Structure 1
């Protein structure tokens, strides 16, 4: 049974007139009459009695009417859901995040959720390297990570980031000492290299250019533990500068040099077509353009 035939039947039932229904459906009256005839033949009964004043439902037509309305309504619901899915209004979005975007991205994601309540969002705090692996493996849909992104990933910049030195509360150093070696007397807390390979490489480049070898006295498995150790006066630490909002009393000193700068952007698998991801990417672009 074709849905278009049911729509024709419902139009005639509503207007109680073949000619008016044909006009409403933008077809000729003979074409409409033919469709009603096809429907009646397929269900085995007459639907309308036609007279000078229009068309009235037969007893059979009255009994058929609720089922026809239900079928059309269900078809409309299926079509609406399909359109929502194809346009990215419904589905599942898996997003990778990093510390550097936590002052900006949560609001962008919250706005996206309000505009697209049919999308279920899952957030994962992951290193840039792990995000790239998951994006390429199809286990992540989009990720905020260190640029440049690897092969197979499309991306654009979200924020500029820089390396900083976090000093314990009440530290005597309010600016970067000319002799970095004095900081080794305090000792460094470092994020595990496996947990943050990009940050570790950035620190290596910056220290290597200054021929400085930090005295690492403690490793941590997450940046929050590093920051907590600094706040507890356990030591000093190299951190992304945007992480300073998590430190209340500690002194955060931005580090100089181009080797202390990098970019963080939004990346996604360029070869994988996903309407939800495409909608989210457009949303982030628009949010950034609005400032």
Structure 2
């Protein structure tokens, strides 16, 4: 039989066959595994097709395992037992992760942070998960000095910091609500050319500062900055509300951080921004960091199934993160 394009049998299918060999009755075997008899029968038939063998002789009165099925039973049982042992070992390893891991974020009360911590505690009950709020300046320094093990942030990150890409979002511009452009639904970078960007502290990573100012602009024009030296999101949008300048942000901020005196307007030609889990390269293989990386990677996959959901705000799909 040509097996091209046929997938390998699943452990689930093999487990069903073992139950059938024990009960010699489709109905009883299906009932013991809490699935319907038609679904059970389809899986056994699919297993036979994948193996290219008839495993079961069916009649209205009885079910009999064929010679081929009997010959394969020891191997099938060994495979199922090995899969069970693997699952048990993985569970024991997960529960053996101990110690303390510190996760940093701009706002530790965000739903995505809460969900990530819940996943870690569920997977690794012996791991102490702590949170710390970090601002634009602290996020890199806290990683390099070890006061946090990882941060949820937006890129870019400097050399020596590794990151897992979690999601991308469009950018918006934060404007004073009195500005004529604040009534628009979208603007271009050219329309913002004469507006200074709120200055960030010099200790903020240079490439990060330039990215979040769209500096230089697409035509090569350098950006003018205000005399502010903001280190946090709140201090920078506060400067915007006072009419000091503008600030580029992710579009999620429209929902997450509504503030009096400002408006968020989409920027049609700004590059997308990237949400990251970042960690120091030196801490990459620390057990707590590995646990964080795996949980966040699963979360990113889950969120990719919900393209209408903002990464930072939504907790949709959290049941799949466990």
TM-score w.r.t. the length of structure 2 is 0.50
Q: What SS does the aligned partner of 1:220 have?
A: coil
Q: Secondary structure at the match of 1:264?
A: strand
1:125 aligns with 2:133: yes
Match of 1:155 in 2: 163
- 1:156 is displaced (CA, Å) by 1.8
Aligned-residue offset at 1:92: 0.5
Report whether the alignment pairs 1:176 with 2:184: no
Task: Specify whether residues 214 and 162 from structure 1 end up closer, same or farther in structure 2 by C-alpha distance, changes over 3 A only.
Answer: farther
Determine the C-alpha separation between the residues in 2 that align with 1:151 and 1:196.
10
Q: How many residues align?
A: 203
The alignment partner of 2:199 has SS state of: strand
How do 1:115-264 residues align onto structure 2 when only pairs under 5 Å count?
115-126=123-134, 130-147=138-155, 149=157, 153-173=161-181, 174=184, 175-176=186-187, 178-180=190-192, 182-183=194-195, 188-195=197-204, 197-203=206-212, 205-210=214-219, 211=221, 213-214=223-224, 216=226, 218-231=228-241, 233-241=242-250, 242-244=252-254, 245-248=256-259, 250-257=262-269, 260-264=271-275
For residue 224 of structure 1, report the CA deviation from its aligned partner.
Answer: 0.6
- The answer for unaligned runs of 5 or more in structure 2 is 1-91, 304-322
Q: Which runs of 5+ in 1 are unaligned?
A: 1-82
Partner of 1:95: 103
CA displacement, residues 78-132 of structure 1 (integer Å, 9 cap, x when unaligned): xxxxx779831x3210123246994633322233335544332232333677544
Task: Give me the whole-angstrom Cα distance separating, in 1, the residues matched to 2:193 and 2:162.
Answer: 41
**Equivalents in 1 of 2:206, 2:114: separation in Å?**
24
CA distance in 2, matches of 1:289, 1:143: 19
Q: Is the 8 A contact 1:163 1:238 kept in 2?
A: no
Residue 290 in structure 1 maps to residue 302 in structure 2: yes
- 1:268 equivalent to 2:263? Answer no
Question: 2-side partners of 1:101 and 1:270: how far apart?
Answer: 26
C-alpha separation between the residues in 2 aligned to 1:195 and 1:140?
Answer: 17
When the two chains are superposed, the root-mean-square deviation of aligned CA atoms in Å is: 3.7
Deviation of 1:246 after TM superposition, in Å, equals 0.7
Larger-gyration structure (1/2): 1
Which of 256, 272, 290 is the matching residue for 1:278? 290
- SS of equivalent to 1:189: coil
C-alpha distance after superposition, 1:125-158 (max 9, x if no partner): 3367754454455443222344465555543211
Alignment check: 8 A CA contact 1:189 1:216 kept: yes
Residues 99 and 127 in structure 2, CA contact (< 8 A), matched pair in contact too: yes
Return the offset for 1:222.
Answer: 1.8
Bigger fraction of residues in helix? 1
The CA deviation string for residues 9-65 of structure 1, in whole angstroms up to 9 with x for no partner, is xxxxxxxxxxxxxxxxxxxxxxxxxxxxxxxxxxxxxxxxxxxxxxxxxxxxxxxxx
Query: Which has the larger share of strand?
Result: 1
